[in-house]
Amino acid sequence: MKETKNIMIVGVGGQGTLLTSRILGGITVAAGYDVKLSEVHGMAQRGGSVVTFVRYGEKVAEPIVEEGQADVLIAFERLEALRYAHFLKKDGVIVVNDHRIDPITVVTGMAEYPDNIIENLEKEHKVLKVKAMEEALKLGNSKVFNIIVLGVAAKHMDFSKEAWLEVIEKTVPPKTVEINKQAFLLGFEG
Amino acid sequence: MNETKIMLGNEAIARGAYEAGVKVSAAYPGTPSTEISENVVKYPEIYCEWSPNEKVAMEVAIGASISGVRSMASMKHVGVNVASDPLYTISYGGVNGGLVLVAADDPGLYSSQNEQDTRCVARAAMVPVLEPSDSQEAKDFVKYAFTLSEKYDTPIIVRTTTRLAHSQGPVTMEERIVPEDKAYVRNPAKFVMMPGNAKGRHVFVEKRLKDMAADACEMPINRVEMNDTKIGFITSGIAYQYVKEACPNASVLKLGLVHPLPRKLIEDFASKVDTLYIFEELEPVFEEQIKSWGINCIGKEIFTVQGEYSANMIRKTILKEEVDGKAAAAVPARPPILCPGCPHRSVYSVLNKLKIHAAGDIGCYTLGAVAPLSVVDTTVCMGASISTLHGMEKAKGKEYIKNWVAVIGDSTFMHTGVNSLMNMVYNQGTGTVMILDNSTTGMTGHQDHAATGKTLMGETVPAIDIPNLCRAMGIKNVVEVNAFDIVTLEKVIKEEVAKDEVSVIITKSPCVLLKGNKFTTKCKPVEDKCKKCGACLRPGCPALTKKADGTIAIDATMCNGCGLCMQLCKFGAIEKVEA
* Chain B interface disruption, residue of A43, A51, A77, A97, most B CBs within 10 A: A43
Q: Which CATH superfamily is domain B343-508 in?
A: Thiamin diphosphate (ThDP)-binding fold, Pyr/PP domains (3.40.50.970)
**Does the distance separating the beta carbons of A104 and B335 come in below 8 Å?**
yes
CA nearest B285: which of B107, B442, B441? B107
Q: Which residue of B has its CA nearest to A40?
A: B166
- Identity of residue A178: E
- pLDDT exceeds cutoff 90 at A41: no
- Which residues span the domain enclosing A71? 5-189
What amino acid occupies position B424? M
Q: What pLDDT score does B197 carry?
A: 97
d(CA B205, CA B529): 75
CA distance to partner chain B, nearest, from residue A102 (Å): 7
Angle at CA of residue B17, ends B12 and B19, nearest 5°: 90
pLDDT at B323: 78
Cα–Cα dist B161/B166, whole Å: 8
pLDDT at A1: 63
H or E stretch at B258: strand B257-259
Q: Which residues of B46-64 are buried (b: 16+ CB within 10 A; e: fewer)?
A: bbbbbbbbbbbbbbbbbeb
Give the nearest chain B residue to A120 (CA atoms).
Answer: B329
**Phi, psi of A21, deg, nearest 5:** -70, -30
For residue B163, the model assigns a pLDDT of 97
Three-class secondary structure of residue B244 per DSSP: helix
Chain A stretch 30-89, residues whose beta carbon is closer than 8 A to a beta carbon of chain B: 34-49, 60-64, 66-69, 79-80, 82-83, 85-89
Compute the distance between CA of residue B75 and CA of residue B102 in angstroms, rounded to an integer.
6
What pLDDT, on the 0 to 100 scale, is given for residue B508? 93
Question: Alpha-carbon distance B410 to B361, whole Å?
Answer: 11
**A89 vs B35, B324, B537: nearest CB:** B324
Q: Do A12 and B334 touch (CB under 8 A)?
A: yes
Q: Count CB neighbours of B153 within 10 A.
A: 17
Cβ partners under 8 Å of residue B526, min gap 6: B572, B573, B574, B575
Q: Which of residues 3-32 of A touch B (CB under 8 A)?
A: 12-14, 25-26, 29
CA atoms within 13 A on the CB side of A116: 4
Sheet holding B404-409, edge to edge: B376-378, B357-359, B404-409, B432-437, B503-508, B477-481
pLDDT of residue A108: 81
In CATH, the architecture of B4-218 is: 3-Layer(aba) Sandwich (3.40)
What digits encode the pLDDT tens for the residues A151-187? 999 998 989 999 999 999 999 999 999 999 999 999 9
Contact criterion met (CB < 8 Å) for A13 and B336: yes
Separation in Å, CA of B324 to nearest CA in chain A? 5
How far apart CA B224 and CA B232 sit, in angstroms, is: 10
Beta bridge partners of B578: B521
Min Cα–Cα distance to chain A from B233, Å: 16
Q: Does B542 sit within 8 Å of A104, measured CB to CB?
A: yes
Chain A: closest CA distance from residue B292 (Å): 31
C-alpha dihedral, B367 to B373 to B375 to B378, nearest 10°? 30
Q: Which residues in chain A touch residue B557, judged by CB atoms under 8 angstroms apart? A: 133, 137, 142
Q: Which positions in chain A touch B167 (Cβ < 8 Å)? A: 36-39, 63
Predicted local distance difference test score (pLDDT) of residue A110: 87
Chain A residues closer than 8 Å to B329 by CB: 82-83, 85-86
Q: Are A43 and B110 a contacting pair at CB < 8 A?
A: yes
Spatial separation of the C-alpha atoms in residues B456 and B437, rounded to whole Å = 19
Instruction: Name the nearest CA neighbour of B257 among B233, B221, B286.
Output: B221
The pLDDT value given to residue A44: 64
With an 8 Å Cβ cutoff, are A39 and B323 in contact?
no
User: Under an 8 A CB cutoff, do A36 and B110 touch?
Assistant: no
Give the rounded distance of the alpha carbon of B181 from its chain centre.
31
| Chain B residue whose CA is closest to A27 | B6
Distance in angstroms (rounded) separating the CA atoms of residues B395 and B104: 36
The pLDDT, as a whole number, for residue B114 is: 96
B236 three-state secondary structure? strand
Given this model, what pLDDT does residue B557 score? 86
Q: Radius of gyration of chain B from Cα atoms?
A: 27
DSSP string for B164-190: HHTEEEEEE------PPPPPP---HHH
Distances (CA, A) of B56 to A92, B25, B60, B61: 50, 12, 6, 9
From the list B270, B274, B280, the residue with the least C-alpha distance to B303 is B280
Q: Which residues of A touch B337 (CB under 8 A)?
A: 46-48, 104
pTM of the shown model: 0.96
Are B53 and B466 in contact, with CB atoms under 8 Å apart? no
Examine residue B372 and say whether the peptide bond preceding it is cis (omega within 30 degrees of 0).
Answer: yes
A:B CB pairs within 8 Å: 178
CB B149 within 8 A of CB B156: yes
The DSSP letter of residue B126 is T
ipTM entry: 0.94
User: Cβ of A104 and B324 within 8 Å?
Assistant: no
Does domain B223-317 bear CATH number 3.40.50.920? yes
CATH number of B521-578: 3.30.70.20
Q: How many angstroms away from the CA of B326 is the closest CA of chain A?
A: 5
Residue from A23, A56, A62, A171 to probe the interface with B (highest B Cβ count within 10 Å): A62
User: 3-class DSSP state for residue A93?
Assistant: strand
| A91 at B interface, C-beta within 8 A | no
3-state helix, strand, coil in chain A (%, to 5): 45, 25, 30
Which residue in chain B is spatially nearest to A134 when comparing CA positions? B557
Per-residue H/E/C for B372-438: CCCCEEECCCCCHHHHHHHHHHHHHCCCHHHHEEEEEEHHHHHHHHHHHHHHHHHCCCCCEEEEEEC
Q: Helix, strand, or coil here: B354?
A: coil
| Structural domain spans, chain B | 4-218, 223-317, 343-508, 521-578
* Cα(A32)–Cα(A38) distance, integer angstroms: 19
Rounded to whole angstroms, the Cα distance separating B517 from B339 reads 14
The pLDDT value recorded for residue B518 is: 81
The residues of chain B scoring below 70 in pLDDT are 1, 324-325
User: A103 and B333 in contact (C-beta within 8 Å)?
Assistant: yes
What integer pLDDT is reported at residue A46 of this predicted model?
A: 78
* Number of domains chain A is built from: 1
One fold for both B223-317 and B521-578? no
The 10 Å Cβ neighbour count of residue A96 is 28
Residue B327: helix, strand or coil by DSSP? coil
B18 near B107, Cβ under 8 Å? Answer: no
Q: Do B540 and A111 touch (CB under 8 A)?
A: no
What's the CATH code of the domain at A177? Answer: 3.40.920.10
Which of B331, B558, B560 to mutate against chain A (most A CBs within 10 Å)?
B331
> Testing the interface with A: which of B164, B168, B541 to mutate, by most A Cβ within 10 A?
B168
Handedness of CA A6, A12, A18, A23 (dihedral sign): negative
Q: Is B40 helix (H, G, I), strand (E, B) or coil?
A: helix
Cβ proximity of A44 and B336 under 8 Å: yes
